[in-house]
Amino acid sequence: MISSVLLAAAAALGAVAAPIEERATVLTGQYTCATSGDYTLCQNQWGSANGVGSQNSTLVSTSGTDISWTTTYTWANNENDVKTYANVLNNNVLGVTLASITSLPTTWDWSYTSESSGLRADVSYDMWLGTSSTGTAASSTSSYEIMVWLSGLGGIEPVGSLLTSSVSIDGYTWNLWSGTNSNWEVYSFIPATSGTSITSFSTNLLPFFTYLVTNHGVSTSLYLNAIQTGTEAFTGTASLDISTFSVALN
Ligand SMILES: *[C@@H]1O[C@H](CO)[C@@H](O)[C@H](O)[C@H]1NC(C)=O
């Protein structure tokens, strides 16, 4: 179910000048989405059956390549299972081969406006490579899922096992994990210092892909199918504020 909230309903007051209205779209359903500008925000509560709780996500605004959004959730039970991945997808940053990409500039500024003690959640990029130019995230043509975690709280771990410690990319040090999921391989770059949260991230994402091409045989003829960013919630209660996110394709 999609509902809209009027943040400024000056019209009701009978103001003389035309009212300025700002609309935020609030999503409450399991798989509901909202599109604005370059982006689609989705609730993606794919694992909610493994827990008890709820989540609501709000598309605040889009402007050019920027989006601002929030999500609020509370989840209990099965602390090692992901309940949801509230995320945004840039609908224009996809459909090209890795070989044809010059850069993938991105900016992400975020904070927890509230956070329960012992919260188990990540804040992450989830990027997809596949064999079809029109393939989507987590599909039959997916080859690789590449995660970059800006935060992982409460002792949660990525899919698989630790492959390489202390990989330097974009001025940060990461631990690289690998594993498999369904028909694709998963690589996850995690801040090497446990508990670190990178709350202001402004960089180029291409070096993460280039590292995997150079070191793990990822083919540059694969297509970029999706760059999603959001939060995987395991257990706990939190409100996450993404004040600005952007990603572009050059
Ligand atoms: C999400 O919205 C529903 C419906 O308004 C509400 O019952 C629920 O408490 C909300 N959940 C959170 C975590 O805010």
Please spell the DSSP secondary structure of 133-197, one letter per residue.
TT--TTSTTEEEEEEEEEEEETT---SSEEEEEEEEETTEEEEEEEEEETTEEEEEEEESSTT--
For residue 8, being part of any structural domain is answered with no
* Neighbouring C-beta atoms of residue 210, cutoff 10 Å: 16
Q: Residue 195: what pLDDT?
A: 85
Q: Residue 42: what pLDDT?
A: 98
Q: What is the mean pLDDT of residues 45-65?
A: 97
Query: What pLDDT band is residue 9 in, cutting at 50, 70 and 90?
Result: very low
Domain CATH code at residue 232? 2.60.120.180
Q: Residue 22: what pLDDT?
A: 52
Range of the domain at 135: 24-247
Q: What is the mean pLDDT of residues 14-27?
A: 62
Ligand 1 atom with the smallest distance to the CA of 74 is 13
For residue 5, being part of any structural domain is answered with no
For residue 137, being part of any structural domain is answered with yes
Report the domain count for the chain. 1
Distance 154 CA to ligand 1 centre (A): 23
Query: What pLDDT band is residue 39 in, cutting at 50, 70 and 90?
Result: very high
Q: Residue 133: what pLDDT?
A: 98
Angle at 88 between CA 82 and CA 91, to 5 degrees: 135
Q: Which amino acid is at 219?
A: S
State both tokens at 11: 């019209």
| Greater model confidence, 155 or 194 | 155
For residue 14, being part of any structural domain is answered with no
For residue 98, being part of any structural domain is answered with yes
Cα separation of 235 and 238, whole Å?
9
Element holding 87 (H helix, E strand)? strand 84-90
pLDDT tens string 83-139: 999 999 999 999 999 999 999 999 999 999 999 999 999 999 999 999 999 999 999
For residue 10, being part of any structural domain is answered with no
Residue nearest to atom 3 of ligand 1 (CA): 28
Q: Residue 93: what pLDDT?
A: 98
Residues catalogued as catalytic: 145, 232
Residue written as tokens 């793990």?
A: 216
For residue 15, being part of any structural domain is answered with no
Query: What pLDDT band is residue 33 in, cutting at 50, 70 and 90?
Result: very high
Mean per-residue pLDDT of the chain: 92
For residue 116, being part of any structural domain is answered with yes
pLDDT tens string 70-82: 999 999 999 999 9
- The residue to mutate among 1, 3, 4, 28, having the most atoms of ligand 1 within 8 angstroms of its beta carbon, is 28
Cβ of 28 closer than 6 Å to ligand 1, yes or no, is: yes
Angle at 95 between CA 185 and CA 146, to 5 degrees: 25
